[in-house]
Amino acid sequence: MSTQNASEHFMEVNGVKLRYFSWGSESNPKMICLHGHTGQAHIWDEFAEEMSERYHVLAFDQRGHGASSYAEDGYDRDKFVNDLDAIIETLNIDRVTLVGLSMGGWHSILYTSEFHPEKVEKMVIVDIGPESSEEFKKSFTEDGVRVEPKIKFSSFEEAFNESRSNNPWVSDEGLTRDLTNRLNQNTDGTYQWKADPNLIIPPLKDGTDENLIRRYWEGLAKIDCPILEVQGMESTLLDSELKDKMLSTAKNLSWVDVPNAGHVVTVDQPQLFINATREFLS
């Protein structure tokens, strides 16, 4: 699947130039899709194509990601949420369905609970919660010391092999397509992530910042619209304890587990993700 039926656009909000893809008739109900940390809009290609029969789907490269510009004013969580607010205002959207993977889910929760709950009709959050499991936090450390993420690769094959070692579930075709969309080739033949290095090197503070964790939990509790959580069954980001707490905290939360999928469910199992969300979004 590709973006052959989508149109590419750019808009400037809050001093950053954002790329986005549009599927479906502009007269359809609006859906905005937000990728995760260091990701890009193409993770929604198959899903957006399917949803375009009944939605006008907009998938964004968020600030500092993909083909959007780097942000001189930084990447605090509220910067992203302010961008989402500006997107919705700029496009004059009155009602929207938000679909957010990982940090895109955080942005959806904060926008809906702190900005315009009346504008959000439904929400899908993918493999994310107000906080992460202890097992997930340990996956980024060795002997208690944080492992620095790799930014540059000597070849596409090196990037592929390293990504494959962490993800046995995605197909070769799906992984190749995802990496092609996430990597740039430098003049010396090496490859590096398209995302701003200032996003990649510093560890995300969401998992340790008590204020952000509080806001995510309080936001989840305040939201009235229906929410669907889609979790990759191979992901360790959310454990059973967090699942139970989220289900008891939220007013209207449903949960679907997708087999043979890690964190980026839409890349690992695109058709199963479509199947998991179809009834909720119909």
SS3 for 57-89, per residue?
Answer: EEEECCCCCCCCCCCCCCCCHHHHHHHHHHHHH
**Residues of the chain under the 50 pLDDT cut:** 1-2
- Other beta carbons within 10 Å of 35: 28
Nearest-CA neighbor of 228 among 203, 249, 256, 207? 256
pTM: 0.96
CA–CA gap between residue 7 and residue 1 (Å, rounded): 15
CA 168 to chain centre: 20
CA 107 to chain centre: 9
pLDDT for the residue numbered 227: 98
pLDDT for the residue numbered 138: 86
Beta strands 96-101 and 7-13: pairing type? Answer: unpaired
Question: 251: which 2 tokens?
Answer: 């007013």
Q: Any residues with CB less than 8 A from the CB of 118 and at least 6 apart, and which?
A: none
pLDDT for the residue numbered 139: 81
Helices 210-222 and 240-249: angle between axes, nearest 10 degrees: 50
Whose tokens are 């400037």? That residue is: 12
Q: Any residues with CB less than 8 A from the CB of 39 and at least 6 apart, and which?
A: 65, 66, 101, 102, 182, 195, 264
Output the CA torsion sign for 275, 103, 23, 195. negative
CA–CA gap between residue 101 and residue 123 (Å, rounded): 11
pLDDT for the residue numbered 226: 98
Question: 261: which 2 tokens?
Answer: 């999928």
Nearest-CA neighbor of 20 among 3, 35, 8? 8
CA–CA gap between residue 131 and residue 208 (Å, rounded): 8
pLDDT for the residue numbered 3: 61
- Other beta carbons within 10 Å of 79: 18
User: What is the rounded radius of gyration, in angstroms, for the C-alpha atoms of the chain?
Assistant: 18
